[in-house]
Amino acid sequence: MKTEISSNISRTYQSKLVLPPHTNHMGTIFGGTVLSYIDEIAAICAMKHSKKVVVTASIDQVDFVSSAKVGDILILEAVVVSTGRTSMEVFVKVESEHLTTGERLLTTTSMLTMVAVDENGVPSPVPKVIPETDKEKELFHAAQERKKERDKNHTAD
């Protein structure tokens, strides 16, 4: 197995159409639906990176910036931005695109931690990631601080 992988190789994109069953009484997408899309793309991205099955360890941050409406197209982008021994931090960005105008709006950003596991469910080592864009480098360098914050929250009373 490679010991380092370019973040570009681990980048994943998905598109989803916002349909009436995915929306509330105001015609905007349910936050829980967006969260399920985020979890799914983060898992796919982490599996591509590690070449292993993964489980979601945490969803550390979700920022809902704007809403998507029925008929909008959601464009999801996920990228592994840092790795531990068995874990991978995955940054997910969701944009909505208006079907007729093509206008795009940032709807949601999220940071998740995924853990690679073997066939017995035991955490398994993953390759390191090489950040490429300025945003990826920024997220990579802030990874230790996010890990400290997660650890602090798990030991809090």
Total domains in the fold of the chain: 1
What is residue 7's predicted lDDT score, i.e. its pLDDT? 63
Ramachandran assignment for 54, one of left (phi > 0), alpha (psi -120 to 50 degrees), beta (any other): beta
How many C-beta atoms surround the C-beta of residue 16 within 10 A? 20
**pLDDT digits 0-9 by tens, 24-70:** 999 999 999 999 999 999 999 999 999 999 999 999 889 999 999 99
User: Residue 103 and residue 69: Cα distance in Å, rounded?
Assistant: 13
Mean pLDDT by groups of 10 residues along the chain of 157 residues: 65 96 95 97 96 94 94 97 94 95 96 96 93 83 76 62
Domain of 42: which CATH number? 3.10.129.10
The residue range of the domain holding 110 is: 4-155
pTM: 0.88
Closest C-alpha among 89, 114, 105, 108 to residue 35: 108
Give me the helix-helix angle, 143-155 and 134-141, nearest 10°.
Answer: 40
What is residue 153's predicted lDDT score, i.e. its pLDDT? 67
